[in-house]
C-alpha cells in the first residue's frame, strides 16, 4: 500500500456539490462519482469523515428572509443535510463501501445518533462516517459543523471542497486577475475576509490547530493525489501569530 500523508480526514462538501447542472437537488452521477473517490481513499486505509451541507435543498437564512421563523428554518436546513447524507450513504453502499450516517438531531429510526466514541469506532473499522444535521443547533452552518467534527474525531486534515482550484484574493470566476494563494494562515483568511468558510469555522480550526486544504475535489483523483503527497489547492494553517 502506498504511504499516505494522513490516516484520518474530514471532508466537507457543500450541498450544491451534489446538484445537477439543470438544478436538480441530487444528481445520481455526481454523487456516484464522489462516492467512488471516497471509496478509493478508504481502500487505501484512509479513515474518512464526511460533512455534507444542505444548500442544494434549503438554507435557513434564505427561508428566514422570506418570513419563516429562523430557528424553524434552520431546523429545516439541518434536515436537508440528513437527506444528502442518506443519499451519499446509499451511493457508498452501492459501491460496497460501508458507511454510517450519524445525526446531531435525534432521528434514530433513519440513522444513528451522533456519539463521538461510536463515530471513532466506525472510522477505525474502515466505515465512512457521514455527520448529518450540522451541529444540531440553529444559527450555525455545516462549515462550523465540519470544523467541530474534525476536531472531535482528531482528523489530521480538513478538506473543504470548492469548485475552483483553492483560495483566491477574490472570486476567480468574477475577477480575472484574482491572486491564488497556495498557502496562507487562518489569520490571513480571517483578516482579508477571503470567504473560504464562515468565521466560526475558521476560528475553530485555527484555535485547535487543524490544517485545512481548500481544493477542487471534482477533478478526478485529486484527493488521492493530495494524500500521496502532491501539493494541491491551498493550505490554510495556523501562523506564528497564534503559536503560543
Please give the DSSP secondary-structure letter assigned to residue 27: -
Give the E-state strand segments of 169-233 in sequence order: 180-181, 183-185, 212-216
**Least distance in angstroms from the C-beta of 201 to ligand UDP:** 9
In the complex with ligand UDP, which residue's Cβ is closer, 60 or 233?
60
- Asked if 210 contacts 147 with a C-beta cutoff of 8 angstroms, the reply is yes
**Least distance in angstroms from the C-beta of 146 to ligand UDP:** 8
- Convert 134-163 to b/e letters by CB count within 10 Å (16 or more is b): bbbebebbbbbbbbbbbbbbebebbbbbbe
In the complex with ligand UDP, which residue's Cβ is closer, 187 or 198?
198
In the complex with ligand UDP, which residue's Cβ is closer, 53 or 166?
53
Output the CA angle 242-209-229, nearest 5 degrees. Answer: 120
In the complex with ligand UDP, which residue's Cβ is closer, 106 or 121?
106
Residues forming contacts to ligand UDP in the complex (CB under 6 A) are 14-16, 53-55, 59-61, 74, 77-78, 80-81, 134-135, 137-138, 140-143, 145
- DSSP result, 102-127: EESS--TTTSEEP-HHHHHHHHHTT-
Nearest-angstrom CA–CA distance, 7 and 100: 18
**Least distance in angstroms from the C-beta of 83 to ligand UDP:** 11
**Least distance in angstroms from the C-beta of 86 to ligand UDP:** 15
**Least distance in angstroms from the C-beta of 228 to ligand UDP:** 27
In the complex with ligand UDP, which residue's Cβ is closer, 98 or 204?
204
Amino acid at each position: 500500500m502506498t504511504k499516505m500523508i494522513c490516516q484520518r480526514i474530514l471532508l466537507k462538501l457543500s450541498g450544491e456539490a451534489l446538484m445537477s447542472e439543470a438544478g436538480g437537488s441530487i444528481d445520481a452521477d455526481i454523487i456516484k462519482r464522489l462516492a467512488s473517490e471516497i471509496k478509493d481513499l478508504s481502500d487505501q486505509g484512509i479513515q474518512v469523515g464526511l460533512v455534507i451541507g444542505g444548500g442544494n435543498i434549503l438554507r435557513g437564512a434564505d427561508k428566514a428572509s422570506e418570513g419563516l421563523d429562523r430557528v424553524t428554518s434552520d431546523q429545516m436546513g439541518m434536515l436537508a443535510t440528513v437527506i444528502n447524507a442518506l443519499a451519499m450513504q446509499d451511493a457508498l453502499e452501492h459501491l460496497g463501501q460501508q458507511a454510517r450516517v450519524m445525526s446531531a438531531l435525534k432521528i434514530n429510526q433513519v440513522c444513528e445518533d451522533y456519539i463521538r466514541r461510536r463515530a471513532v469506532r466506525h472510522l477505525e473499522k474502515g466505515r465512512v462516517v457521514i455527520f448529518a444535521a450540522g451541529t444540531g443547533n440553529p444559527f450555525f452552518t455545516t462549515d462550523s459543523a465540519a470544523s467541530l467534527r474534525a476536531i472531535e474525531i482528531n482528523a489530521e486534515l480538513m478538506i473543504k471542497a470548492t469548485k475552483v482550484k483553492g483560495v483566491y484574493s477574490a472570486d476567480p470566476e468574477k475577477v480575472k486577475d484574482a491572486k491564488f494563494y497556495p498557502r496562507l494562515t487562518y489569520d490571513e483568511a480571517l483578516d482579508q475576509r477571503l470567504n473560504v468558510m464562515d468565521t466560526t469555522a475558521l476560528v475553530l480550526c485555527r484555535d485547535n490547530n487543524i490544517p485545512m486544504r481548500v481544493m477542487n475535489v471534482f477533478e478526478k483523483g485529486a484527493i488521492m493525489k493530495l494524500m500521496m503527497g502532491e501539493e494541491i489547492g491551498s493550505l490554510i494553517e495556523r501562523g506564528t501569530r497564534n503559536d503560543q
